[in-house]
């Protein structure tokens, strides 16, 4: 009996050691198959374009394809919920942004926790917005616009892409900063807003630089400035609203990459390394900058930096959203 017991213990110890070695080998081998990056919006939008620009250089770093899967609906909350329920093995990622990982927590009753159920991987580029106006608006610059807005309080129309959209949040923030109420006109999406702005049906719109700059350059609309504290590298001729007299006014629309909670640390590290390599590649950086994006500073590229930004943005925006009684549809 003693011999058999010793043999059993020896075999059990050997099995445990083999399992531990096998787990370490699997961890070291990550990734051993394609990685899926879920994009919570339709194809051809800003998030999808960013994902596809990053996927090829990430493939080169990881040695495995990065497959883009578009899962739209409910302002991105469907896709994020799917990612939260995915196996935490490093093979399912979620690209998110200010809307999906901050705003949705205040306007929807989510079945997941935006902070606790995800592991941050890396902050991605930020898109700032331009304050656009119909071409016939009388003010020549932002300093002239401010008194015109106050003189026409209650009459000025600002189009938004719907409740909780970046254009909506920035419009509310703009009202609060000026102490002036506007007519906020909700649309089903950004294309419809811009179409009516070009047609002169509404007065103002806040829109991401990537889609707004071509309209400004083409003379279809006017712009009164950018919602960043510094001028955009891709549009250094355009002033900021901060310069124009709205001190410290800033509204950014940043992107980030997350994995489900519990994803192994070595997978997070390898994914972070791949994303950083992509973002710091000269060709990739230029391509994104030309689209109006602002690249993260080196100190912002660690996973913990994305986590800290997300938490600080929740503290900033949730009170504004709740005070304005913004609800998801």
Residues 170 and 222 in one domain: yes
Residues 114 and 185 in one domain: no
pLDDT in tens, 291-324: 889 999 999 999 999 999 999 999 999 999 999 9
In angstroms, rounded to a whole number, what is the distance separating the alpha carbons of residues 118 and 133? 39
Residues 121 and 134 in one domain: no
Residues 217 and 289 in one domain: no
pLDDT recorded at residue 112: 98
Residues 122 and 141 in one domain: no
pLDDT recorded at residue 75: 86
Residues 221 and 273 in one domain: no
Q: Looking at the domain assignment, is residue 219 inside a domain?
A: yes
Domains held by the chain: number: 2
Q: Looking at the domain assignment, is residue 245 inside a domain?
A: no
Where residue 204 sits, what CATH number does that domain have?
3.40.190.10
Residues 47 and 116 in one domain: yes
Residues 117 and 140 in one domain: no
In DSSP terms, 133 is beta-bridged to: 204, 222
Q: Looking at the domain assignment, is residue 132 inside a domain?
A: yes
- Report the candidate in 296, 305, 258 with the shortest Cα–Cα distance to residue 278: 296
Residues 76 and 165 in one domain: no
Q: Looking at the domain assignment, is residue 316 inside a domain?
A: yes
- Dihedral of CA 21/27/33/38: which sign? positive
Chain centroid, CA 253 distance in Å: 6
Residues 100 and 134 in one domain: no
In angstroms, rounded to a whole number, what is the distance separating the alpha carbons of residues 177 and 152? 16
Residues 198 and 146 in one domain: yes
pLDDT recorded at residue 20: 43
Where residue 268 sits, what CATH number does that domain have?
3.40.190.150
Strands 66-70 and 35-39: parallel
Domain region containing 174: 128-226
Which spans in the chain are helix H?
Answer: 2-29, 46-62, 77-84, 98, 104-107, 142-151, 166-178, 190-198, 209-217, 265-279, 282-290, 303-323
Q: What is the DSSP string of 243-297?
A: TTT-TT---EEEEEEEEETT--HHHHHHHHHHHHHHHTSHHHHHHHHHTTEEPPP
> What does residue 39 show for φ and ψ, rounded to 5 degrees?
-110, 120
Low-confidence stretches of the chain (pLDDT beneath 70): 1-28
pLDDT recorded at residue 18: 45
In angstroms, rounded to a whole number, what is the distance separating the alpha carbons of residues 54 and 176? 36
Domain boundary among 192, 226, 260: 226
Q: Looking at the domain assignment, is residue 18 inside a domain?
A: no
In angstroms, rounded to a whole number, what is the distance separating the alpha carbons of residues 6 and 237? 80
pLDDT recorded at residue 7: 58
Q: Looking at the domain assignment, is residue 97 inside a domain?
A: yes
Q: Looking at the domain assignment, is residue 147 inside a domain?
A: yes
Domain boundary among 176, 208, 226: 226
Residues 219 and 142 in one domain: yes
């Amino acid at each position: 009996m003693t011999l058999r017991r010793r043999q059993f213990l020896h075999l059990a110890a050997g099995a445990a050691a083999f399992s531990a070695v096998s787990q370490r080998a699997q961890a070291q081998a990550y990734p051993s198959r394609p990685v899926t990056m879920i994009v919570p919006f339709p194809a051809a939008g800003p998030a999808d374009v960013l994902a596809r620009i990053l996927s090829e250089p990430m493939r080169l770093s990881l040695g495995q394809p990065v497959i883009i899967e578009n899962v739209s609906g409910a302002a991105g909350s469907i896709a994020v919920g799917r990612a939260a329920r995915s196996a935490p093995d490093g093979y399912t990622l979620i690209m998110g942004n200010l809307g999906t990982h901050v705003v949705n927590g205040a306007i929807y009753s989510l079945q997941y926790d935006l902070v606790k159920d995800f592991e941050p991987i890396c902050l991605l580029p930020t898109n700032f917005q331009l304050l656009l106006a119909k071409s016939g608006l009388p003010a020549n610059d932002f300093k002239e616009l401010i008194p015109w807005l106050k003189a026409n309080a209650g009459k000025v129309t600002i189009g938004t892409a719907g409740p909780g959209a970046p254009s909506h949040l920035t419009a509310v923030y703009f009202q609060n900063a000026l102490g002036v109420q506007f007519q906020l006109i909700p649309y089903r999406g950004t294309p419809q807003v811009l179409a009516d702005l070009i047609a002169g049906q509404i007065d103002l719109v806040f829109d991401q630089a990537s889609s707004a700059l071509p309209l400004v350059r083409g003379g279809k609309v006017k712009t009164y400035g950018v919602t960043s504290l510094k001028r955009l590298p891709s549009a250094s001729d355009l002033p900021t609203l901060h310069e124009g007299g709205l001190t410290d006014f800033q509204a950014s629309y940043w992107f980030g990459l997350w994995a489900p909670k519990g994803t192994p640390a070595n997978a997070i590290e390898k994914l972070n390394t791949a994303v950083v390599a992509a973002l710091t590649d000269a060709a990739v950086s230029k391509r994104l900058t030309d689209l109006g994006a602002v690249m993260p500073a080196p100190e912002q590229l660690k996973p913990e930096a994305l986590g800290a930004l997300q938490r600080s943005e929740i503290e900033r925006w949730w009170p504004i959203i709740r005070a304005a009684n913004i609800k998801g549809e």
